Amino acid sequence: MKGVLLTAGEGTRMRPLTLTRPKTMIQVGGKPILQYNLEALRDANITDIVMIVGYKKEVIMDYFGDGSLFGVNITYVTQEERLGTAHAINYVKDEIDSAFIVLNGDIIVDSILIRKLVAKFEANNASSVLMLTEVEDPSSFGVVEIEDDKIKNIVEKPAPGEAPSNLINAGIYLFDKSIFDAIFKTEKSERGEYEITDSLKIQMNENKVVLGLKSDSKWIDVGRPWELLNINEHFISEIEEKIEGEIEEGVTIHGPIVLGKNSIIRSGTYIFGPIYIGEGCDIGPNSYLRKFTYLGNNVNVGNAVEIKNSIIMDGTNVNHLSYVGDSVIGANCNIAAGTNIANLRFDNQNVKMNIKGEICDCGVRKLGSIFGDNVKTGINSSFNPGVKVGINSAIGSGTIIYKDIPSNTLVLVVQEHKIIKKNN
**C-beta of residue 182 within 8 angstroms of C-beta of residue 203:** yes
Neighbours of 238 (CB within 10 A): 10
Instruction: State the DSSP string of 89-144.
Output: HHTTGGG-SS-EEEEETTEEE-HHHHHHHHHHHHHHT-SEEEEEEE-S--TTSEEE
Residue 72 makes CB contacts below 8 A (sequence gap 6+) with 38, 41, 42, 47, 48, 49
The helix or strand, by DSSP H or E, that contains position 34, with its residue range, turns out to be helix 33-43
**C-beta of residue 312 within 8 angstroms of C-beta of residue 323:** no
Q: How many residues does the chain have?
A: 424
Question: What is the rounded CA–CA span in Å between residue 273 and residue 258?
Answer: 9
**C-beta of residue 383 within 8 angstroms of C-beta of residue 30:** no
Q: Is 320 a catalytic residue?
A: yes
Question: What is the rounded CA–CA span in Å between residue 318 and residue 295?
Answer: 11
**C-beta of residue 204 within 8 angstroms of C-beta of residue 144:** no
Neighbours of 276 (CB within 10 A): 25
Q: What residues act catalytically?
A: 320
